[in-house]
Homo-oligomer: A and B are copies of this chain.
């Protein structure tokens, strides 16, 4: 098996991190790998932000949980896991990661969600190949429309929030990652 496949099969989402930050040149390499992903009509509309201030991460963790709960409630759903996070002041959607990388898109993007996800995918694989761990944090989505967050991260009006990824040195081994059987619906020859 080649190194690329080994890296794909060896990657798993990391939810325990060492406190060490990732050196800036490695963060830039990882973001560059993300920016190099395929993107709709080659608009290259993605933009990135790095958050590594511990107090800010803590503040936005709490804010994100409350905003996510609001989103769930507004959609008329109930989600016990989210309601438990609201009640638990220790709940941490960022898994105590030392750094967060956020992805946005300027308005020229034609397929922003796809583009942002492809970029996160590349960043996760690049980071893993360099010995770092990552996790795509869907629970952070509520921050996308939060004024304080957007101001602090210098996000221009009209530019869309797409994704949040934790980044750091894994604390402990990745463990194995079992997958259910792959479902091939059809193979039309």
> Chain A: residues with CB nearer than 8 A to chain B?
2-5, 7-9, 11, 13, 29, 31-33, 35-38, 40-41, 44, 46-53, 56, 104, 110-111, 113-118, 120-122, 124-126, 128-130, 135-136, 138, 152-156, 163, 177, 179-180, 182-189
Contact = CB atoms under 8 A, between A and B. Distances in A.
A64 to B, nearest CB: 15
Most buried by B among A40, A163, A179: A179
Nearest to A127: B4
A50 B120 CA distance: 25
Contacts of A51: 188
Given A184-B50, A187-B50, A8 B31 contact: no
11 contacts: A8-B122, A13-B38, A32-B182, A38-B136, A44-B179, A52-B188, A56-B188, A110-B138, A111-B138, A118-B118, A118-B136
A31 B182 contact: yes
Contacts of A128: 4
